[in-house]
Structure 1
Amino acid sequence: MRSAAVTAAGDRIRWVELPGRDPVRVYVHGLGATSPAYFAATAVHPLLAGHRSLLVDLLGHGHSDRPTSFAYTLEDHADTLAAALRAADVAGAELVAHSMGGSVAVVLAARHPELVSRLVLVDANLDPLPRVPGTAGSSGIAAYTEEEFVTGGWREVRDRVGAHWWSTMRLAGLEALHRSATHLVRGTTPTIRELLLALPVPRTFLYPRADAPFPGAAELVAAGVTVTAVPDCGHNVMLDNPEAFARAVADAPAG
């Protein structure tokens, strides 16, 4: 476990690091998750092992600090991740990023292009979402006010998301979880999709085949993004079908 201070107050991002060759691979989790739990098997899979790999927990999540004064915008997450990567002497990394982490990775590549050489996005959020009370995930969390969520709404979310997701969601700070979800459904300007279309690095977007056709896939492909449907999986592609996921990451164009 390694760490770096990433805010003026000294809040620390932490990551599990595996030694190996360049280019460095950086794994980034989604909302309410933690990279070591979601990506450990991927990082050591025979198709992918051997690279220096950082399994990073974003601020407010997993093993990282959970400051209550932090805004947790997608830009904030990207900038603090950038600070952690610089502290780890990382440049030109390949990012493998899931869900909200994929959104953060796109913003990172747009704001700190020297840090990113390739993106593999795993069912990432590309567009703003509606706030939908009573649902699991970011739309349901963002439907609460922060006060409602912190003072009891989180219990309703716990009961909706189930034991598996809650096993890592429970590690996130309540303010961090709500603010991250709120900014995720709000999105960015330009949108994450628009940022992704404009990036010059090799980009791959993985999604569950059961969700085909993926909205806007033709536009992504026209912009040079490789769009790949992974069979026999849901949103947690790397956990549901680890063999197909490892193959898809290994086959993603590297430029």
Structure 2
Amino acid sequence: MRNAVVTTEGDRIRWVELPGREPSRVYVHGLGATSPAYFAEIAVHPLLTGRRSLLIDLLGHGISDRPADFDYTLEAHADALAEALAVAGVTGAELIAHSMGGSVAIVLAARHPQLVSRLVLVDANLDPIPPDPGSGGSAGIAAYSEREFLAGGWEEVRDRVGQHWWATMRLTDRQALHRSAVQLTRGTVPTMRELLLDLKLPRTYLLPEADGPLSGTDELTEAGVAVVPIPDCGHNIMLDNPDAFARATAEALAH
């Protein structure tokens, strides 16, 4: 486990690092998750092993610190991640980023282009979404006020998301979880999709084949983003079908 101070108050981002050759690969988890749990199998998969790999946890999540005075916007998450990568001596990294982590990775690449050479986005959020009371994920969490969520809304979310997601969601600071969900549903200006379209680096977007065509696929493809459906999986593609995920990711990073 490694760490880096990423705020003026001394808060630390931590990650599990696997040794290997450069350029580094950086794995970024989604909302209420942790990178070692979601990406350990992928980082050592025969098609992907051998690179220096940082399985990094965003502030408020997993093994990283949980500052109460951090605003948890996508921009703030991206800037804190940038500071951690700078301390780790990472430049031109290949980012493999899931869900909210994909949104953070897009913002990171737009704000700190020297840190990122390639993006593999895993069913990432590209657009703002409205809060949706009673649903799972960020839309359901964001439907609560922070006071409501901390007073007991988190228990309702726990029961909705099930034991698999809750196993890592419970490691997330509850205030950080709510603030991150709210900011994810709000998105960025320009939107994450617009930022992605403007990036000048190799970009691949992986999505579950069963979800059907990705909204705006034609525009993404015209801008050079490879959109790749993966069979036999849900939102957690790397966990549901690791071999297909590794094949698609290795192909994306080879071009």
Structure 2 residue identity aligned to 1:129: I
In structure 1, C-alpha distance between the alignment counterparts of 2:3 and 2:162, rounded to whole Å? 30
Match of 1:150 in 2: 150
In structure 2, C-alpha distance between the alignment counterparts of 1:254 and 1:12, rounded to whole Å? 33
Structure 2 residue identity aligned to 1:210: A
Structure 1 segment 163-178 matched on structure 2, within 5 A: 163-178=163-178
Structure 1 residue identity aligned to 2:221: V
Aligned-pair distance for 1:106? Answer: 0.1
Aligned-pair distance for 1:95? Answer: 0.1
Q: Is it true that 1:187 corresponds to 2:183 in the alignment? A: no
Match of 1:220 in 2: 220
Structure 1 segment 92-171 matched on structure 2, within 5 A: 92-171=92-171
Counterpart contact for 1:202–1:254, Cα < 8 Å: no
Aligned-pair distance for 1:254? Answer: 4.7
Structure 2 residue identity aligned to 1:242: P
Aligned-pair distance for 1:253? Answer: 4.7
TM-score (norm 2): 0.99
Counterpart contact for 1:118–1:254, Cα < 8 Å: no
Query: What whole-Å deviation, never above 9, does each CA across 1:182-234 have from its counterpart, x for those lacking one?
Result: 00000000000000000001000000000111111111000000000000000
Q: Structure 2 unaligned runs (5+)?
A: none
Flag as ranges the 4+ runs of structure 1 deviating above 4 A: none
In structure 2, C-alpha distance between the alignment counterparts of 1:110 and 1:69, rounded to whole Å? 25
Structure 2 residue identity aligned to 1:171: L
In structure 1, C-alpha distance between the alignment counterparts of 2:101 and 2:39, rounded to whole Å? 12
Match of 1:56 in 2: 56
Aligned-pair distance for 1:24? Answer: 0.4
Aligned length: 255
Structure 1 residue identity aligned to 2:56: V
Q: Is it true that 1:71 corresponds to 2:71 in the alignment? A: yes
Structure 1 segment 211-250 matched on structure 2, within 5 A: 211-250=211-250
Structure 2 residue identity aligned to 1:164: H
In structure 2, C-alpha distance between the alignment counterparts of 1:153 and 1:185, rounded to whole Å? 17
In structure 2, C-alpha distance between the alignment counterparts of 1:60 and 1:254, rounded to whole Å? 33
**Secondary structure in 2 matching 1:157:** helix
> Sequence identity, in percent?
73
Structure 2 residue identity aligned to 1:213: P
Match of 1:25 in 2: 25
In structure 1, C-alpha distance between the alignment counterparts of 2:86 and 2:23, rounded to whole Å? 14
Q: CA RMSD, aligned part only? A: 0.6
In structure 1, C-alpha distance between the alignment counterparts of 2:238 and 2:83, rounded to whole Å? 26
In structure 2, C-alpha distance between the alignment counterparts of 1:91 and 1:139, rounded to whole Å? 34
Query: What whole-Å deviation, never above 9, does each CA across 1:68-121 have from its counterpart, x for those lacking one?
Result: 110000000000000000000000000000000000000000000000000000
Match of 1:86 in 2: 86
In structure 2, C-alpha distance between the alignment counterparts of 1:240 and 1:67, rounded to whole Å? 32
Aligned-pair distance for 1:151? Answer: 1.2
TM-score (norm 1): 0.99
In structure 2, C-alpha distance between the alignment counterparts of 1:236 and 1:193, rounded to whole Å? 20
In structure 1, C-alpha distance between the alignment counterparts of 2:233 and 2:69, rounded to whole Å? 37
Aligned-pair distance for 1:15? Answer: 0.1
Match of 1:197 in 2: 197
**Secondary structure in 2 matching 1:252:** helix
